[in-house]
Chains A and B, each alone.
Chain A
Amino acid sequence: MTVLENIRLVALREVQVRIRSKAFLISTGIIMLVMVAGFGGAGLAEEYVGEFETAYDVGVVGQEAGATADALRETADRFGMEFNVVTYDSLGDAESRLADGGIDAVLVDRTELLFHGDTYDDVAVVSTEAVRQLELPARLDELGLSVEDLQPILQPSPLETTTLEPGDDVETASVVVAFGAMVLLFVAIVTYGQWVLNGVVEEKSSRVVEVLLSTIRPYQLLAGKVAGILALALGQLTILLALGLFMSVVSPDREIPAVAAWGVAAAAIWFVLGLIFYGFAYGVAGALISRQEEANHVTLPLMIMLGAGYFLTNIFVLNEPGGAGAMVTSLIPFTAPIAMPVRVAFGEAAPWEFLLAVGIMLVTILGAIVVGGRIYAGAILRIGPRVALREAWRFSR
């Protein structure tokens, strides 16, 4: 049995058991609901109204009904709508058709528009315009003018549009993505970190850990647990991204700006790095205690580190993403998982800075695995009161 095989088995168990748990299903459901409701819901509704409510069935009654129907169709077409027009011989027929919902409106004698129940502004505007067009030649005749005379007035040359300064669409999108990434990363790392801690405490308090450690090494158990929860977290986030992508396909107007796309990619990379580091840290913290109730004591230092990442990002990066403070915040491994993606979203992180931060983070993760693994090993079999860090370090040898 190789080390990787052991880690894989532990990770698989983690996925197998958690994916069936109510907590996991509910949290995934909530994420999806929030996505649909908050991000996509409004846009989607708008698009539905715009796309699907542009076709109407309209009845026409009166003299020259055929000409009226043609005018309605043509005008609707110019407005980007579709009118399915039917002519009726009597007003009675048209009204009963309207009453049973077969048509949306009836235009009577080019003077009156009948609705049943809902009134549609679109239909009223199109009908008014169609009638105006139909009656225009006759009215002009009365004034002694021709349609040709009026053409330049009716169709003025389009205005030339120039902007003095480019709009801030892209910048707005960056800030939205950056802020979103900051909040999401913070919440995600705390949440999934807590999962690791709960899992470790469960193994310790149920004493199953002694059976496990009779076969596999402590660091393999911890690494497998972090890997399993990372896989689940990525699964949830993939659902989130897929849903987001689906939204943007359904509403093509909402294009993701290029900078934002990079921001998402950077956020994903840093989420993985951040969760590996903090996942290990939370796991080690969990090894120190034997009861869930004590979790707050041991997670406090981690919350301070993550909180610092959040607030320093708020102070430095959001205000001046290119500044020195922002750069330092995005290089320190404890704060980088939150600060760096935000800088990337602003387009302010140079590639070498990004790579340097990743390098520093990888070295830190290695250190965390070595140091954390030893503390974990020293503490995990000591059931009872909270184990001091120094004691755990000594005990493991």
Chain B
Amino acid sequence: MLALQALHKRYGHIVALDDCSLEVPEGRVVGFLGPNGSGKTTAMRCIFGLVYLDSGEVTWRGESVTPAHRLHFGYMPEQRGLYPKMRVHEQLVYFARLHGVDRRKAEAASSLWLERLGLEDRARSNLEDLSHGNQQRVQLAAALVHEPGLIVLDEPFSGLDPVAVQVLAEVIREEARRGAAVVFSSHQLDLVEDICEDLAIIHQGQVVMSGHLESLRQQSPVRIVELATSDVPIESWLPRIEGLDILESSGDAATLRIPAGVRVDVILAAAMEAGHVRYFRYEPPDLTRLFLEAVGQ
């Protein structure tokens, strides 16, 4: 398991990480979410020693992370980068060898990954001669070619077409199945919901919510009610009920946020009294709502 423990980092007056803690178990995929500038990239860089921490510790399997551990980590930074004027296969071999893989295994693994990503015929091309999408694939292979125990991907889905998104999602799932701990950041919440069971939300340098997605939804202190009544404008009856937080309303439909403990039958009764109820949904918040709740929106 990877653990970030109470990380603190300031750049002058700017607080990048403020008591940031996160856990990524092996064999699991953790989605790492947060608004722009919340500290996702800084937190990920800490894992690789690219940021000098003011305090806190990063551990892997209970040990403080050293360069020796990092040989078994794979990293795809937000700012993609490989050598433009180096051949694709040689490049992958080079990255594998930097991670301590011997030459023969490095060459075999590089060929395997190129084949897996459909790039075997471009092995001898210079990277810069590949299309943008194919360069992204090589970048992914470079992060995975040494069969890492921990995989950290910073915004891996940005700029990918839907086909490439499916390929990457499948690769991420397979790597977790192989036993790797995987953490990736993303803005695309639907993708996160689709790929991972666990997530962590960072806000202003602090992980404000983390855990299993389904339990986070159940544990949320709020519930969402969506309802519609035929022929009767919402405005005419709903505002009369006290203690409701109306998120959205138009015509005869509305979306409400209520505390999880509140009895919902009061609302339902009022709706039935006002008119014919077309639909009535009572649910824990979805990921988008959870995210917005967590970052205080």
B142 and chain A: residue at smallest CB distance: A211
Report if A139 contacts B (CB, 8 A).
no
Q: Do the beta carbons of B67 and A206 come within 8 Å of each other? A: no
Contact B84 A211 (CB under 8 A): no
Cβ–Cβ contact A16 & B90, under 8 A: yes
Closest CB-CB distance, B152 to chain A, in whole Å? 8
Q: How far is the CA of A211 from the CA of B95 in the complex (A)?
A: 9
| A208–B83 CA distance with the chains assembled, in angstroms | 6
Binds A, one of B71-79, B156-164, B199-207, B272-280: B71-79
Q: Does A116 contact B (CB under 8 A)?
A: no
Which chain A residues lie closer than 8 Å to B83 at the CB level?
Answer: 17, 202-203, 206, 208
Check A396 against B77 for contact (C-beta < 8 Å).
no
CB of B277 to closest CB in A, whole Å? 56
Question: B146's closest neighbor in chain A, by CB?
Answer: A215
Question: How many angstroms from the CA of A56 to the CA of B185 in the assembled complex?
Answer: 86
- Is B100 interfacial (CB 8 A cutoff)? yes
Cross-chain contact B73 with A214 (CB below 8 angstroms):
yes
Instruction: List chain B residues, Cβ under 8 A from A383.
Output: 79
The binding surface of chain B is classed by DSSP as loop
Contact present for B85 and A208 (CB under 8 Å): no
Q: Looking at the complex, which one of B71, B75, B77, B97 makes contact with A9 (CB distance below 8 Å)?
A: B97
Per a CB cutoff under 8 Å, which of A1, A13, A213 touches B48? A213
Chain B residues with Cβ below 8 Å from A213 are 48-50
Contact A1 B100 (CB under 8 A): yes
A396 touches B52 (CB 8 A): yes
Quick check: is B130 within 8 A (CB to CB) of the other chain? Answer: no
B71:A211 contact, CB within 8 angstroms:
no
Q: How far is the CA of A396 from the CA of B84 in the complex (A)?
A: 27
The smallest C-beta distance from A286 to any residue of chain B, in angstroms, reads: 15
Asked whether B82 lies within 8 Å of A211 as measured between CB atoms, the reply is yes
List of B residues within 8 angstroms of A21 by Cβ: 85
B50 CB, nearest partner CB in chain A, Å: 6
The yes or no answer to A64 lying at the interface (CB within 8 A) is no
For the complex, give the distance between the alpha carbons of A209 and B50 in Å: 11
A6 to B67, CA, bound (A): 12
User: Which residue from chain A places its CB closest to the CB of B81 in the assembled complex?
Assistant: A207
Query: Roughly how many angstroms separate A226 CA and B75 CA in the complex, as a whole number?
Result: 26
| A216→B98 contact, CB < 8 A | yes
Decide yes or no whether B70 CB sits under 8 A from chain A.
Answer: yes
On chain A, the residues within 8 Å of B79 by CB distance are 207, 210, 383
Q: Which residues of chain A come closer than 8 Å to B70, judged between CB atoms?
A: 214-215
User: A384-397 CB contact bits vs B (8 Å, 1 = yes)?
Assistant: 00000000000011
Interface size class of A (residues with CB under 8 A): 20 to 34
- The answer to whether B71 touches A215, judged by C-beta atoms less than 8 angstroms apart, is yes
Q: Mark A194-230, 1 if CB is under 8 A from B, else 0.
A: 0000000011001111111111110000000000000
Contacts of B100 in A (CB 8 A): 1
A381 within 8 A of B: yes
Query: Closest Cβ of chain A: how far from B268's Cβ, in Å?
Result: 54
- Residues on A with C-beta less than 8 A from B80 are 207
CA distance A69 to B85 in the complex (A): 70
> With contacts A9-B97, A211-B75 known, is A206 near B81, CB below 8 A?
yes
Q: Give the chain B neighbours of A215 by CB distance below 8 A.
A: 67, 70-71, 95, 98-99
List residues of B (27-70) whose CB comes within 8 Å of A's CBs: 48-50, 52, 67-68, 70
CB neighbours of A1 from chain B (8 A): 68, 71, 100
Question: Pick the contact of B84 from A206, A209, A210 — CB < 8 Å?
Answer: A206
Point out the residues of chain A lying under 8 angstroms from B49, CB to CB. 213-214
Distance from A205 Cβ to chain B, minimum over Cβ atoms (Å): 9
User: Does chain A have a CB within 8 A of B191?
Assistant: no
A216 to B75, CA, bound (A): 13
- Distance (whole angstroms) from the CB of B2 to the closest CB of chain A: 14
Task: Tell me which residues across on chain B come within 8 A of A211, comparing CB atoms.
Answer: 75-77, 81-82, 95, 142-143
B86 CB–A CB distance under 8 Å: yes
Complex CA distance for A126 and B81, rounded to whole angstroms: 76
Beta-carbon contact of B77 and A17 below 8 Å: no
B71 close to A210 (CB less than 8 A): no
Q: Which residues of A contact B143 (CB under 8 A)?
A: 211
A207 to B78, CA, bound (A): 10
CA gap between A396 and B49 in the complex, in Å: 11
Hey, which chain B residues are within 8 Å of A13, CB to CB?
86, 94
Shortest beta-carbon distance from A376 to chain B in Å: 14
- Complex formed: what's the CA distance from A21 to B83 in Å? 14
A177 to B216, CA, bound (A): 79
How far is B55's CA from A229's CA once the two chains are assembled, in angstroms?
A: 38
Residue of B whose beta carbon sits closest to that of A221? B98
**When each residue 97-130 of chain B gets 1 if its CB lies under 8 Å from chain A and 0 otherwise, what string results?**
1111000000000000000000000000000000
Interface residues of B (CB under 8 A from A): 48-50, 52, 67-68, 70-71, 73, 75-77, 79-86, 90, 94-95, 97-100, 142-143
Kindly list the 7 A-B residue pairs having the minimum CB-CB distance in the complex, ordered from nearest. Answer: A207-B81, A214-B48, A208-B81, A214-B75, A207-B79, A210-B77, A1-B100
Can you list 14 pairs linking A and B with CB atoms under 8 Å apart?
Answer: A202-B83, A208-B81, A209-B81, A211-B81, A211-B82, A211-B142, A213-B48, A213-B49, A214-B49, A215-B70, A215-B99, A216-B98, A381-B50, A396-B52
